[in-house]
Amino acid sequence: MRLAALYIDAQVAGWSATRSICRRFDVPVKTVVNADEVYADVAAAEDPVGRGKQVLYLTRNKGAFIKQCPGTRHYTCCGYKILHVGTFCTMDCAYCILQSYFHPPVLQYFLNHADLNVELEQLFATRTIQRLGTGEFTDSLIWEPWTGLSEGLIRKFAGQNCCVLELKTKTTFIDTLLDLPHRRRTVLAWSLNTPRVIGSEERGTASLDARLKAAARCLAQGYPLAFHFDPIVIDDGCEAEYRQTIDRLFALIDPRHIVWISLGALRFMPDLKGVVQGRFSQSKIVYGEFIAGLDGKMRYFKPLRMKIYRAIVQAIRAHAPEVCLYFCMEDDEVWQDALGFAPAERGGLSRMLDTAAVQQCGLDNGRRPR
């Protein structure tokens, strides 16, 4: 992480975790009584999104750490819970919704982990199968070079039997995670794309081969894995490129240890188009054949989505006929066309993923150890 400035919320200025993080950066540090000065710094920049990736604000999460995933009633949602540990990202993907989601975008890292642990204990006490992830408003592992966040979470989840944690990333920051006693309660997950999309649209991320090699190292340490082809970018030659990417995946990864693989075609709110045009002038991703979906997002025409989904599903099934495959935010017609069933036929998508977590991660349907 290359920071230009570090701001500290006065409420956490004296905390040992704050001092530990500050020692890792040689940048100007300023204590503030609220976030207004931080936001003003970022908003005043010629490129607020780019500036936001260089300004870190250490603060408290003043709301809930555990939130329900913000799906939509028009498309099938996976029903997982967000573990809200921070916001924004140091990497720079052209399609990233966070560029227009936060106003202005700022790297925030929440330090009140005692409150986080209380919420987790309350969730564990429900004794129900739950899937949680930290990768909704940030990348799960960008914080690893200078915090012990994931180590603490992995140890916490290892001490219970009803919940699974998914850490989703485009990085290779795994060294601190390899020797931990995880008990398969943490799934390490990588977002994957073709080398061409990674090279042109995912600035500052690890290469495809680097991601897969990192996944293989985690697999060697007993971690269950997951992969997410999202967003799938449709253009000339993409089917062959996604097939090649899938071949590279399974050349390194044994499918028997993959918990799930998700597929999702590129989709975005209309206001993101202008951000992409301004910040990624060479990008062509917003000029595809899009139409407004029921959720207001721009989506590829359904026949185009179904065609690429069929090709990718066929390629994955050739290597991994039993792996749990699912779509992120698609309707029953798409499911039937590409997978041959609708989620309701198998108890719903949430149940499908819960079952995969039970089978791969050793969850016991909520019974706590005695």
DSSP 259-303: EEEEEEE-EE-TTHHHHHHHH-TT--GGGSSEEE-TTS-EEE-HH
Return the residue matching tokens 């909704």.
136
CB neighbourhood size of 168 (10 A): 22
Mean pLDDT over 190-210 rounds to 98
Mean pLDDT over 224-252 rounds to 97
The verdict on residue 33 lying in a domain is no
Q: Give me the pLDDT at residue 160, please.
A: 96
Dihedral of the alpha carbons of 301, 302, 308, 309, in degrees to the nearest 10: 150
Structural domain boundaries enclosing 275: 65-85+113-361
The verdict on residue 164 lying in a domain is yes
Confidence check: pLDDT of 363 > 70: yes
- CA separation for the pair 324, 261 (Å, rounded): 6
Q: Give me the pLDDT at residue 369, please.
A: 39
* Interval 241-279: pLDDT, tens: 999 999 999 999 999 999 999 999 999 999 999 999 999
The verdict on residue 25 lying in a domain is no
Mean pLDDT over 338-353 rounds to 95
The verdict on residue 296 lying in a domain is yes
Q: Categorize the per-residue pLDDT at 2 as very low, low, confident or very high, splitting at 50, 70 and 90.
A: confident
The verdict on residue 57 lying in a domain is no
CB 194 within 8 A of CB 238: yes
The two beta strands, 66-68 and 81-83, are antiparallel
Q: Categorize the per-residue pLDDT at 68 as very low, low, confident or very high, splitting at 50, 70 and 90.
A: confident
Q: Give me the pLDDT at residue 163, please.
A: 97
* Interval 46-66: pLDDT, tens: 999 999 999 999 999 999 999
Confidence check: pLDDT of 302 > 80: yes
* Interval 75-130: pLDDT, tens: 666 778 999 999 999 999 999 999 988 778 899 999 999 999 999 999 999 999 99
Which has more confidence, 230 or 370?
230
CB neighbourhood size of 201 (10 A): 24
Mean pLDDT over 189-205 rounds to 97
Give the pair of three-digit tokens for residue 149: 């966040």
CB 226 within 8 A of CB 258: yes
Burial of 307 (0-12, 13-18, 19+ CB in 10 A): middle
- CA separation for the pair 158, 140 (Å, rounded): 18
The verdict on residue 42 lying in a domain is no
Q: Give me the pLDDT at residue 295, please.
A: 85
The pLDDT mean for the chain works out to 94
CB 102 within 8 A of CB 136: no
Q: Categorize the per-residue pLDDT at 368 as very low, low, confident or very high, splitting at 50, 70 and 90.
A: very low
Mean pLDDT over 305-328 rounds to 97
**Any residues with CB less than 8 A from the CB of 225 and at least 6 apart, and which?**
187, 188, 189, 190, 215, 218, 219, 253, 257, 258, 259
The verdict on residue 17 lying in a domain is no
Q: Which of 190, 212, 241, 230 is nearest to 327 (CA)?
A: 230
Domain count, the chain: 1
Q: Categorize the per-residue pLDDT at 340 as very low, low, confident or very high, splitting at 50, 70 and 90.
A: very high
Confidence check: pLDDT of 370 > 50: no
DSSP letter string, 56-97? EEEE---S-SEEE----TTSB----EEE--EE--SSEETT-T
Confidence check: pLDDT of 367 > 90: no
**What CATH number is associated with residue 260?**
3.80.30.30
Most confident of 17-26, 128-137, 212-221, 360-369: 212-221
The verdict on residue 45 lying in a domain is no
Is residue 347 left, alpha or beta, with left meaning phi > 0 and alpha meaning psi from -120 to 50? left
